[in-house]
A and B are shown apart, each in its own frame.
Chain A
Amino acid sequence: MFRISKKESFSKKEAISYRLIGFLIGIVLSGIIIAALGYPVIKTFISLAEGSFGSAIAIRNTISFLIPLSVTALGLSIAFKMRYWNIGGEGQILMGATAAMGVSMIMPASTPGPLMMIAMLLAGFVGGSVWALIPGFFRIHMKTNETLFTLMMNYLAICFVQYLYFELWKDPAKMGFPGIQDIPFKARIPYVSGVSLAIVAPLIIVILVFFLIKKTKLGYEIRVVGESEPTAHYAGMNVKKIMFVGVLLSGGIVGIAGAVKLMGSTGTLSSSLGGGAGFTAIVIAWLANLSAPMIIVVSFLIAALEQGAQFIQVRMGVPAAVADIVKGLILMSVLGSEFMLRYKVVVGAHGAKNKLDAIPSDKEEVHHVEPIVETKENAL
């Protein structure tokens, strides 16, 4: 028989190695499932890597996946730091892009390119934050369940963009075919040696988010609110205001991801512009343990996976959906592996002798257990 007891602390080494083991387990499990589906496992994984890193084009494509994913994950991580479940990334991306699209349509054609680009980015921020603040308002003032509310906002955004696409903003030049016009060429983010300049967006935002969380009063308040709302109240913090600003920033950054996607790659608006990045970014944020620099690293891996999946579909006829299997399983097993950081499994009933000896041992560097898995405020 075995039983489970709680751990008080763990070393950094343990933290990294358990997560790494979790990651590997995820890969192995994915391999088993890919094999069960009847595809060659090793070849699939090799092709995945080849498709994402194998050539200059592959790497460029990986980077173009990385941009929206990392920006969205950075935005979401601010909300998650407050234990505010912003599952509405997909909708915020779309509405950010919609607002940017709208601005590009309103502004006179003679507007200088840089001005239009700045206006569109700002509009993206506003669009995303407004879409995030609708559920945010009700969560803040009436404790409405934000998990489901933000989720529904995704579908509302998709329906709304479809309405624009098929009806309101339908481009007459398309002669009866549905679709919205392209943004002006001068508003498109240029490419430099094949890499979109949009790559600066995540690089700037990661620094801003890191600085915000670690060094500013607002970031400190956000961390306290996420840890314990009652404590924030006791300290005299205006929890409602902090949450409002937090949600605004979170949604706004996600909205910028949408605007950047519009200006940097798609060039026009459709309901598939998000492409699931809003959901994948949630996975990235949690795999990165909500740390801003780690988000860039994890985004790169996941972007590679997505790009590789496109490649194997064309090259080997393996469905791109395989990427979702790998993504889901890696997330599950990495999250599951954190169990080993917080608990230990004792095999057999009599292990006390060793434990007693071990207690007054060393003073090596230990880290506390960060409970990313304990939210007590999840009531519906």
Chain B
Amino acid sequence: MIGDFFSATGSLLSIVFSASFIASAIAFSVVMLFGTVGELITERAGHLNLGVEGMMLLGASMGYFAAVRSSSLFLAILFACVGAGFGALLYAILTVTLRVNQNVAGLALSIFGAGLANSLGSKVSNTSTPDNIAKIFKLKPFSLSSPSGPFLTFINKAFLSHNIYVYVAVLVAVVATVFLFKTRAGLELRLTGENTAAADASGIKVTRIKYFYIILGGMLCGIGGLYLPLVQQGSWTSNMTAGQGWLVVALVIFVRWHPIKAIAGAYVFGSLTILGFSVQLNERLSSIPIFNQYIMSMFPYLLTVVVLIAFSFRKKAWPGPKEIGRPYFREER
């Protein structure tokens, strides 16, 4: 019995720490990393946007549509930004200017976004990513040509053999961290999300800031979404984000609104997502009920739930930007 437990644990560890597993977990976390950084920036401005799923799909469909029609990577990214940014703009108009409840506005956006994306996507559902673009993402710019020794081989396979999209995602998280904590614009953003009235009274243009970062956050979600059809899958499927947008909202809490932690957070969720598939290939594990692939597909959601509960135990911890959920009206009496 105990022996079984150890051998099962051993098999699991050997899967989780294999270079190929790490590599595919990283690849699977790209969408969520972009999304988490985007949603995090939005929340730092005091707005919880539940429409991430919709914005990701908008970005994915518009970007992929542009890619297929123009074979231009630049236009693909541009249109991913335009699509998701448009969704975020609608959300911003509703919540910033019209002071609609953020939860309902976000849900409306996710329904609208999915609808528009799936309608548009159906026009390109039978095509695949244009070769010239696919070629760009076949390149592994940091890969070592002849790694020496087992350690370098491992590092090379796990961390260095990725396409440029992956490294850009990490770079975005790093830049966002520096921006948030080391620049004056970042300070102004944080103050707006902590106390909008104080920011306003300090001469910060709060409406402009909120619009700007809500839209910027949306665009990042869109670029994240684009990764799915353009690189990961190479074709369009409707609702292809499959709930990752909702996980992102939870991830933001998981990483305590801190972009650098989002890298690790997205990785953890990414690896949980693929763990089910990987375990199926291992005969010893796949016979154990808990490693059933349908049970394992619950893990990311279970982890989210555990995280939510765990954070509600920590009464003293910073509960996130204070203005989340509160409409701001300057002439409030």
Contacts and interface: CB of A to CB of B under 8 A. Distances in A.
User: Do A and B touch directly, given a CB cutoff of 8 Å in the complex?
Assistant: yes
Interface of A: 4-6, 33, 37, 85, 87, 138, 142-145, 147-149, 151-153, 155-156, 159-160, 162-163, 166-167, 279-280, 282-283, 286, 318-319, 321-329, 331-332, 335-336, 338-339, 342-343, 372-380
A142 B103 CA distance: 21
A138 B309 contact: yes
A323 B115 contact: yes
B125 to A, nearest CB: 10
B120 A159 contact: no
Contacts of B48: 378, 380
B90 interface: yes
B109 to A, nearest CB: 7
Interface of B: 48, 50, 54, 90, 93-94, 97-105, 107-120, 122-123, 238, 243, 246, 249-250, 253, 292, 294-295, 297-298, 301-302, 304-305, 308-309, 311-313, 319-320, 322, 324-327, 329, 331-333
A336 B98 contact: yes
Given A145-B308, A159-B301, A332 B101 contact: no
A159 B297 contact: yes
Contacts of A375: 101, 103, 325
Contacts of A143: 312
5 contacts: A87-B103, A324-B111, A343-B329, A374-B99, A380-B324
B220 to A, nearest CB: 20
A331 B297 contact: no
B40 to A, nearest CB: 12
A160 B249 CA distance: 22
A146 to B, nearest CB: 9
Contact of A163 (B292, B309, B329): B292
Contact of A166 (B94, B249, B294): B294
B111 A331 contact: yes
A69 B210 CA distance: 35
Contacts of B111: 279-280, 283, 324, 327-328, 331
A321 B114 CA distance: 8
A324 B297 CA distance: 27
Contacts of B104: 282, 286, 331, 335, 373
B308 A149 contact: yes
A31 B99 CA distance: 25
A145 B253 CA distance: 10
A139 to B, nearest CB: 9
A283 B112 CA distance: 11
B301 A325 contact: no
Given A155-B301, A332-B94, A378-B102, A279 B312 contact: no
A329 B112 contact: yes
B198 to A, nearest CB: 17
B294 A332 contact: no
A307 to B, nearest CB: 16
A148 B107 contact: no
A323 B116 CA distance: 9
A6 B103 contact: no
Contact of B118 (A87, A162, A319, A335): A319
A142 B112 CA distance: 33
Shortest 4 CB-CB distances between A and B: which pairs? A328-B112, A378-B325, A324-B115, A321-B118
Contact of B320 (A280, A282, A376, A379): A379
Contact of B253 (A148, A286, A326): A148
B101 A373 contact: yes
Contacts of A338: 98, 100
A147 B320 CA distance: 15
B276 to A, nearest CB: 10
Contacts of A380: 48, 253, 319-320, 324
Given A6-B329, A144-B309, A374-B327, A156 B298 contact: yes
A144 B312 contact: yes
A6 to B, nearest CB: 7
A243 B300 CA distance: 28
B246 A151 contact: yes
A155 B90 CA distance: 27
A215 to B, nearest CB: 27
A318 B118 CA distance: 11
A376 B108 contact: no
B119 A325 contact: yes
A85 B98 CA distance: 21
Contacts of A4: 329, 331
Contacts of B302: 156
A342 B298 CA distance: 43
A155 B308 contact: no
Contacts of B319: 379-380
A335 B116 contact: no
Given A138-B309, A318-B119, 7 more contacts: A142-B313, A144-B311, A149-B305, A156-B302, A327-B112, A343-B99, A379-B320
A160 B238 CA distance: 22
